[in-house]
Structure 1
Amino acid sequence: MMINIRERILAYGVNSLKDEELLAVILGNGTQGNPVIDLSKKIVCNSNGLDLSLEQLMSFNGIGVAQACKILAAIELGTRKIQADSLSETVVSVDEIGQHLIKKIGNAPQEKLVTVYLNNSYHVIDEKVVFIRTVDQATVHPRDILREAIGMSATQIVVAHNHPNGSLMFSKNDQEFSLRLKKCCHLIGINLIDHLIITKKTFSSLKTLNLI
């Protein structure tokens, strides 16, 4: 089975593999009476998007400390790769920004507010996580966003934040913040292109809903 998986990687690339097959490659071997692909399927089926702890992994028959550490390291490496990804310095659309941010913050367990900074030609200058919500934190202020914009001479911005609960609905606070930000942007000559709500699979636009 492992030979077939390796042949598929060589022929079609690693992105052709299913989750359980990727996990099987990481584990390498199963145990007697528990083939690696079957073990991998059990782990995938009994996890929430591979959100697993060391203790949870070791609860599976055939997974010891070494194998559990391999899996956690691979998952963490993938997470860091996503966090390191950024939009190219080319002309981008709101849809491209939304699709990019689905991968970047769509699965984040905490609410994050990201700002994408652009110039007049819609070329991306930079993107920054401006805010991560915790229990004892207040909401973000427009100045936190605009300070960065002024520093990099951005003339346009797109703001977005994820909803870990999967809702695409804007709250009253979301709209009030967007209107306040838009007013502040106008005062210093910056265009607020849109405010997006990001979930695991899609996004919604406050501009499209005529809320700003």
Structure 2
Amino acid sequence: MMINLREKIIAYGVSTLKNEELLAVIIGSGTKEFPVSDLAKTIICNSESLNLSLEQLMSFNGIGVAQACKILAAIELGTRKIQSDTLSEKVVSVDDIGRHLINKIGSAPQEKLIAIYLNNSYHIIDERVIFIGTVDQATVHPRDILREAIKISATQIVIAHNHPNGSLMFSKNDQEFTLRLKKCCHLIGINLLDHLIITKKTYSRMKSLNLI
């Protein structure tokens, strides 16, 4: 099994492997009672997006501490890779930003407020995580976003935050904070393009809903 998977990676590339095959490569080997292919399929079928703890992984017959640690390390590495990805320097639209952020924060277990800074030509200058936690006026202030904009001479901003519960609805706090930020942006000559809510599979735009 492992030799065949390695040959497949060498011949066709790792992207051709199915999820259970990728997991089988990470696990390495099974036992006589639980072949590695069966172990991988069982874990995939009984987990949601591989959102598993060490204890949960070790509850599967044939998975010990070593294999569980390998799986968790691989998942964490993939998560960090996604979080480190940034948009290219090409001209981008708000929808480009939305699709990018689905991969970056859509599956995050906590709410994250991100600011995307652009110039007049819609080129990305920078991208920053501003706050982790529920967004409201008591915890986040417009200056936290605008400080960086002034520093890097950004003229346009898109802000976004994820909803781990999957809701695409903007709360009253979301709307109040965004309107406050928009007023502050106007005072210093910066254009607030939009505020996005990001979920695992899609996003919503406050501007499209005529909320700003």
Normalised TM-score (structure 1): 0.94
- For residues 71-128 of structure 1, the C-alpha deviation after alignment (integer angstroms, 9 at most, x for no partner) is 1111111111111111112211111111110011000111000000011111101100
Q: Distance in 1 between matches of 2:174 and 2:69?
A: 40
Give matches, 1:73-84, under 5 Å: 73-84=73-84
Amino acid at match of 1:190: I
Q: Which residue of 1 aligns with 2:108?
A: 108
Give matches, 1:197-212, under 5 Å: 197-212=197-212
Give matches, 1:152-167, under 5 Å: 152-167=152-167
Q: Distance in 2 between matches of 1:189 and 1:138?
A: 25
Which SS does the other structure have where 1:192 is aligned? strand
Q: Distance in 1 between matches of 2:144 and 2:119?
A: 19
Q: Which residue of 1 aligns with 2:26?
A: 26
Q: Which residue of 2 aligns with 1:89?
A: 89
In the alignment, is residue 3 of structure 1 matched against residue 3 of structure 2? yes
- For residues 28-52 of structure 1, the C-alpha deviation after alignment (integer angstroms, 9 at most, x for no partner) is 2111021111101111122221111
Q: Distance in 1 between matches of 2:153 and 2:16?
A: 42
Q: Which residue of 1 aligns with 2:64?
A: 64
Q: Distance in 2 between matches of 1:122 and 1:149?
A: 14
- For residues 11-42 of structure 1, the C-alpha deviation after alignment (integer angstroms, 9 at most, x for no partner) is 43222222211100111211102111110111
Amino acid at match of 2:140: V
Q: Distance in 1 between matches of 2:77 and 2:174?
A: 32
Return the offset for 1:138: 4.0
Moved more, 48-57 or 68-77: 48-57
Q: Which residue of 1 aligns with 2:196?
A: 196
**Structure 1: runs of 5 or more not aligned:** none
Q: Distance in 1 between matches of 2:16 and 2:167?
A: 30
> Identity rate of aligned residues, in percent?
80
Q: Which residue of 2 aligns with 1:41?
A: 41
Q: Distance in 1 between matches of 2:189 and 2:96?
A: 24
Amino acid at match of 1:46: N
Give matches, 1:134-145, under 5 Å: 138-145=138-145
- For residues 55-83 of structure 1, the C-alpha deviation after alignment (integer angstroms, 9 at most, x for no partner) is 11111111111111111111111111111
Return the offset for 1:5: 2.6
Normalised TM-score (structure 2): 0.94
Q: Distance in 1 between matches of 2:139 and 2:15?
A: 39
Which SS does the other structure have where 2:82 is aligned? helix
In the alignment, is residue 52 of structure 1 matched against residue 25 of structure 2? no
In the alignment, is residue 123 of structure 1 matched against residue 123 of structure 2? yes
Which SS does the other structure have where 1:102 is aligned? helix
**Structure 2: runs of 5 or more not aligned:** none
Return the offset for 1:172: 1.4
Q: Which residue of 1 aligns with 2:151?
A: 151
Return the offset for 1:7: 3.3
Q: Which residue of 2 aligns with 1:98?
A: 98
Amino acid at match of 2:154: A
Q: Distance in 1 between matches of 2:150 and 2:205?
A: 24
